[in-house]
Amino acid sequence: MEMTLRWYGSKFDTVTLEQIRQIPGVHGVITTLYDTEPGEVWSRERIRALKDEVEAAGLRIAGIESVNVHEDIKLGKSTRDQLIDNYIATLRNLGEEDIHMVCYNFMPVFDWTRTELARRRPDGSTVLAYTQKAVDDLVPEDMFASISGDMNGSVMPGWEPQRLAHVKELFEEYRGVTEEDLFANLKYFLERIMPVCNEYDINMAIHPDDPAWSVFGLPRIIVNLENIQRMMKMVDDPHNGVTFCAGSYGTNPKNDLPGMIRALKGRIHFAHVRNLKFNKFDNEGNPIDFEESAHLSSDGSFDLYEIVKALYDIGFEGPIRPDHGRMIWGEVAMPGYGLYDRALGAAYINGLWEAVEKASSSLRSSE
Ligand SMILES: [Mn+2]
């Protein structure tokens, strides 16, 4: 694995490359051209400028998160062919610049959903949280207004104001779009982009839907192992793989995270490792309230040791990153994306990895 940190670019991120470089074991960043619109071609010049900036700080670009997919592609509209051509042009330019991993998602309208961005925990830290009741009570177009006050002045990925301005129309367009339609539109997209991914050895890593169930009645497909396997089989190419996001798949306690990792051997191209804490379940065992915790196993509901061990056991070699961190020590940053708690997360995951690695090599030598 290659430990990385997500970085939004010097114009948008409160965290600097110089700070990232001082986190032990972090040599790469996962970044993006944050001010591009879905459907826009990323020019080679802009990609190279970003690369130069990262490399001048002594780091490397380990992958892109994300190249966003235009809603018309997800909707299967007639405009999709041109938009996919543009996506292919972007992939080609990334490949020319020696970038080989691209994270994306296929979630309608919203990238991810939380109902609070700064829930206070007993230790005074603040975290992102989700309450089903808040989602059920909310008109989707009010979602942005309800949380935008918590964004610390940042623009959060998936919650860009220009995207949210069209929420109402988008909901109209998704009326009647089923999960089967979404699978078919994803297949169409993947079939079109795979040749360029093969040409440039670009691993496509689809990010799961977060939370891993339908919200606001929108169809959601990347939610469990069965659906991921269907996605990989329908366009069967090693470049068609996944971002294993523990915090997203883990929102559904029925998803056995270490088991999923083992089943996805060879097709996990990127890993997001984090923890969350379930607070309340309904009568059927579905979580109705959870919050993001520190990465440490004992602070949340997941066993991070087992997650890291499963990644080690499948021979995972791709980029990995700590995911949303808590806001601690007075830091003011994009919720989930401050420096301090993600640095603690990176150090903790590195520690787990070293322990797993040494334990299994001493096991081997004693055999
Ligand atoms: Mn994630």
Catalytic residue check, 324: yes
Percent of the chain scoring above 70 in pLDDT? 93
Distance from Cα 226 to the centre of ligand 1, integer Å: 19
Phi, psi of 173 (to 5 degrees): -65, -30
Distance from Cα 248 to the centre of ligand 1, integer Å: 6
pTM (predicted TM-score): 0.94
**Strand-strand pairing, 287-292 and 126-131:** antiparallel
Backbone dihedral region for residue 152 (phi beyond 0: left; psi -120 to 50: alpha; all else: beta):
left
Domain count of the chain?
1
Catalytic residue selected from 130, 200, 312, 337: 337
Catalytic residue check, 104: no
8 A C-beta contact, residue 30 and residue 65:
yes
Confidence of residue 51 (pLDDT cuts 50, 70, 90): very high
For residue range 207-252, list pLDDT tens digits in order: 999 898 888 888 999 999 999 999 999 999 999 999 999 999 999 9
8 A C-beta contact, residue 29 and residue 17:
yes
For residue range 81-127, list pLDDT tens digits in order: 999 999 999 999 999 999 999 999 999 987 778 888 999 999 999 99
Rg (CA), the chain: 20
8 A C-beta contact, residue 270 and residue 297:
no
Which H or E run contains 126? strand 126-131
Interaxial angle between packed helices 80-96 and 44-56, expressed in degrees from 0 to 180 and rounded to the nearest 10: 40
Handedness of CA 105, 111, 116, 117 (dihedral sign): positive
For residue range 312-355, list pLDDT tens digits in order: 999 999 999 999 999 999 999 999 999 999 999 999 999 999 99
8 A C-beta contact, residue 289 and residue 131:
yes
For residue range 56-78, list pLDDT tens digits in order: 999 999 999 999 999 999 999 99
State the Cα–Cα distance between residues 126 and 298, nearest whole angstrom: 18
Backbone dihedral region for residue 275 (phi beyond 0: left; psi -120 to 50: alpha; all else: beta):
beta
Distance from Cα 366 to the centre of ligand 1, integer Å: 38
Q: What is the pLDDT of residue 134?
A: 85
Catalytic residue check, 295: no
- Residue that wins the pLDDT comparison between 175 and 275: 275
Catalytic residue check, 337: yes
Say how far residue 30 (Cα) sits from the centre of its chain: 11
Structural domain span for residue 260: 2-366
Write the CATH number for 334: 3.20.20.150
- Residue that wins the pLDDT comparison between 170 and 179: 179
Q: Which of 351, 319, 359, 337 is nearest to 61 (CA)?
A: 319
